Amino acid sequence: ILNVEQSPQSLHVQEGDSTNFTCSFPSSNFYALHWYRWETAKSPEALFVMTLNGDEKKKGRISATLNTKEGYSYLYIKGSQPEDSATYLCALGGNFNKFYFGSGTKLNVKP
Amino acid sequence: EAGVTQSPTHLIKTRGQQATLRCSPISGHTSVYWYQQALGLGLQFLLWYDEGEERNRGNFPPRFSGRQFPNYSSELNVNALELEDSALYLCASSGNSDSIKTQYFGPGTRLLVL
């Protein structure tokens, strides 16, 4: 079992604030790191998949970085909007297609 | 393109009964995964099916089982239900053309065991 940790557990920000959260994972035998956004009553939505140390991915106001040597990934949201309110999950992809999920960061953006 | 679908959306059972949950993957995807999210916990990997066969299994008792049909849809069966089986069950699918195997999720089935 691989331990994937996310912090903080929850976050409350005002509309327009920028925010970031962390996913930590064992750095040995790294394969891929996935970020998902999960809105209440909807399906988790794939945001990014990152495979190389130093990877940076961007989708609109959301971006992510990856450091496989020290075992962490950051997710950044610039100018948060109420529609960004969701739980953000990271998952470590490994051999045999088994994903190890963190417990998520629940973001609440107040208008 | 239709996403992953799951049925039913909600299921209420009593202890000792059996529950059957269904999943249809994205068209063209051959792999189906099942996850459990119990209250207060993260997503826990249950099962992976590919090309009709069970390929990997999480740390769950044998009363959690399933199958994958020739059209790649899948069923998850939970026998001898226990109260702690109450959870959200998510299904995901991935395609062989994706070497990274990004998993695309359905909306889930919420199982309540009374």
Q: Residue A50's closest chain B neighbor by CA?
A: B100
* Average pLDDT of the residues in A16-40: 92
Q: Could you tell me the CA-to-CA distances from A4 to A27, A73, A93, B40 in Å, in that order?
A: 11, 11, 11, 16
Token pair listed for B11: 């299921």
Q: Please judge whether A34 and B58 are an interchain contact, meaning their C-beta atoms are less than 8 angstroms apart.
A: no
User: What letters, b where the CB count within 10 A reaches 16 and e where it falls short, cover B53-70?
Assistant: eeeebbebeeebbbebee
pLDDT of residue B93: 95
> CA of B30, closest CA in chain A: separation in Å?
12
**Other CB atoms within 10 Å distance of the CB of residue A2:** 12
Are A96 and B48 in contact (CB < 8 Å)? yes
Going by pLDDT thresholds of 50, 70 and 90, the confidence category of residue A27 is confident
Confidence tier at A1 by pLDDT (50, 70, 90): low
Residue range B46-85, pLDDT digits in tens: 999 999 999 999 999 999 999 999 999 999 999 999 999 9
Q: What is the 3-state secondary structure (H, E, C) of A50-109?
A: ECCCCCEEEECCEEEEEECCCCEEEEEECCCCHHHCEEEEEEEECHHHCEEECCCEEEEE
Do residue A103 and residue B41 have CB atoms under 8 angstroms apart?
A: yes
Cβ atoms of residues A109 and A11 within 8 Å: no
* A94 in contact with chain B, both atoms CB, cutoff 8 A: no
Q: At A11, is the pLDDT very low, low, confident or very high (cuts 50, 70, 90)?
A: very high
Residue of A42, A19, A47, A38 whose CA lies nearest to A86: A38
- A43 and B43 within 8 Å at the Cβ level: the answer is no
Is A57 in CB contact (< 8 Å) with chain B? no
Does residue B38 have a pLDDT over 90? yes
- Predicted confidence at residue B1, as pLDDT, reads 65
Mean pLDDT of A27-36: 88
Q: Looking at per-residue confidence, does A2 or A77 come out higher?
A: A77
Query: Chain A residue with minimal CA distance to B93?
Result: A97
**What integer pLDDT is reported at residue B54 of this predicted model?**
94
Does A93 contact B4 at a Cβ distance shorter than 8 Å? Answer: no
Residue in the structure block whose two tokens are 């961007």: A58
Predicted confidence at residue A106, as pLDDT, reads 96
* pLDDT above 90: residue B42: no
For residue range A56-111, what is the model confidence (pLDDT) as tens digits? 999 999 999 999 999 999 999 999 999 999 999 999 987 667 888 999 999 999 99
- Total residue count of chain A as it appears in this document: 111
Radius of gyration of chain A from Cα atoms?
A: 13
Mean pLDDT to the nearest integer, B12-38 = 96
**More confidently predicted of B95 and B34:** B34
Amino acid letter at A22? Answer: T
Looking at every residue in chain B, the average pLDDT score rounds to: 93
Q: Which chain B residues are Cβ-neighbours of A91 within 8 angstroms?
A: 43, 103
